[in-house]
Amino acid sequence: MSTEKDQNEVINGVARTSLFVAACRAIITNKYLELVQKKELNISDTLLKNHIDGMISKGHYMDLGEVNESIDYFNGSGKICIYDPYAYFFINTKDSQQLLIQTVKKHQFHEEKEKEGEKEGDKKSGSFFEYINSVPLLVSWTVVLSRSTLLRMAFRTKYIDDYVMNNCHSFEQLVICGAGLDARSKRLPIPASCRVYEIDLPHVVEYKLKMLEMANQYVDQVSQCQITMIADDLTQPSWIQKLKDNGYQSDKPTFWLLEGLVMYLSKSQLDFLFSTINQLSATKSKILVHTLTPGFVDNSTTTPTSPKSPNQLDWTLLKEEFISRHEDPIQEILIPNGFSKDTSSVTYRDLIDLYQFNNTPAFVKTSQTHFSIGTK
C-alpha cells in the first residue's frame, strides 16, 4: 500500500515531467478518437480500429473543443501519427489534477513576483480552479499545453515509435532509461523475441504500475514482449545489478533508448550513465539519445491552444529542471562512449521533411532538439 506521501512524489521534481509528456500523448490520441467518433477518419488497421472503438464506447473520448480544431497531426499520406491509449489512464488521476493546480499556482506566483514583488500567487487563480473542477481533466490539461509542444511531442513520439519498430526485431534486449509513462512496450507490436527493460525512479514505477492495472481492464496489450520494470535511480550504481538480476545479458547486443532524460542530468551524472551503458553493451548494440541544444528556447507562448488559458504555462516550469544541453551529441556523447559507428542525428526540421507534414507552423521547425543514433 502506498502512503499519501508516496503518491505525491510523482508530481514533484523531475518525476512530474513524465505526467506532462503523458498529458500531451493523451491529447494527441484523443484527436483520433474524435475523428473516428465524427466518422471523419476511416481506419483500415483492424486492431487499431478495435482499440479506438473500444475507447470511445467506454467513454474515454473527451470533446477538447478548440484544441482539436487547430491541430493536424497527420502526415502527407493521412496516416495516424501516434496512438497511446494508456496516456488517458496515466493522467486521469488525483495526482495529475494536483500537479495541474500546483503548476498553475507556481507559475502565477512567479508572474506576480515579477510584477509586484513577493505576493500570494494564487489570488488570481480562482477562475481557473473553478474551470478545472467543472471539466474533465483531459480538457483542463489542454489549457497549459501549447500547440507547438503538442506538435513536437507528436513528431518525437512518431519518430521513436518508428525507430523502435524498425529495430526491435534485430535485438533481444531493449532498455528504456527514464521510461516514465512511456507505454511503447505495451502499445507497439514488439515481438516476444525482444525483452524490454524500463528503468525509472521508484515512485514513478509505482505510479505507472498502479495506473496500468486500471488501464489493462480497458486496453488490450499489442506487444508480445516480456516487460521488466526496474525501480531505481540511474545516477546510482545499484541499477546495474538489478538489471542483471532480472536477466539482462551484457554479451547480447542491446538497443538503448534515452528519450526526455539527458537534459535532466548533470555532466557527472551523464558521464557515469553513459560509461555504464558502454560497459553493459556488447558490440553491435545501438543507442538513441534525445538532447536539447544550448540555444534551446521554447517560443510557444505565442501560440496558445486555448483562449481559456489563464497563462500559457507550457514548458516554462519544466525548463527549471533542464540542466544539460548538447550542441553536438554525436561528438559529445556517442563517440566518447563507444557508440561511434553509423552515427546520425536528426532535428524537428528533419522530421517534418521525413514525414511530409503539411502546413507545419514555423515555430515547430527548430533545430534545437536532436535525436541521435549510434552503434557500438
The smaller minimum CB distance to ligand SAM, of residues 36 and 211, is found at 211
The smaller minimum CB distance to ligand SAM, of residues 69 and 233, is found at 233
Residues that bind ligand SAM (CB under 6 A): 14-15, 17-18, 21, 178-182, 200-201, 204, 233-235, 259-261, 264
Least distance from ligand SAM to the Cβ atom of residue 290, Å? 8
Rounded-to-integer distance, Cα 201 and Cα 264, Å? 13
Which secondary-structure segment (H or E) carries 98? helix 94-116
- Asked if 376 and 338 touch (Cβ cutoff 8 Å), the reply is yes
Least distance from ligand SAM to the Cβ atom of residue 351, Å? 15
Nearest-CB residue to ligand SAM? 180
Closest listed residue to residue 371, CA positions, set 361, 357, 354: 354
Least distance from ligand SAM to the Cβ atom of residue 207, Å? 9
N-to-C CA span, the chain: 42
Least distance from ligand SAM to the Cβ atom of residue 160, Å? 8
The smaller minimum CB distance to ligand SAM, of residues 55 and 204, is found at 204
The smaller minimum CB distance to ligand SAM, of residues 71 and 204, is found at 204
Nearby residues of 363 by Cβ (< 8 Å), 6 or more positions away: 148, 299, 300, 302, 303
Nearby residues of 370 by Cβ (< 8 Å), 6 or more positions away: 289, 290, 291, 292, 293, 326, 329, 345, 346, 347
SS3 304: coil
The smaller minimum CB distance to ligand SAM, of residues 181 and 330, is found at 181
Least distance from ligand SAM to the Cβ atom of residue 270, Å? 10
Least distance from ligand SAM to the Cβ atom of residue 272, Å? 10
Q: What is the largest CA-CA distance in the chain?
A: 60
Q: How far is CA 287 from CA 34, 170, 197, in A?
A: 36, 13, 14
The smaller minimum CB distance to ligand SAM, of residues 63 and 320, is found at 320
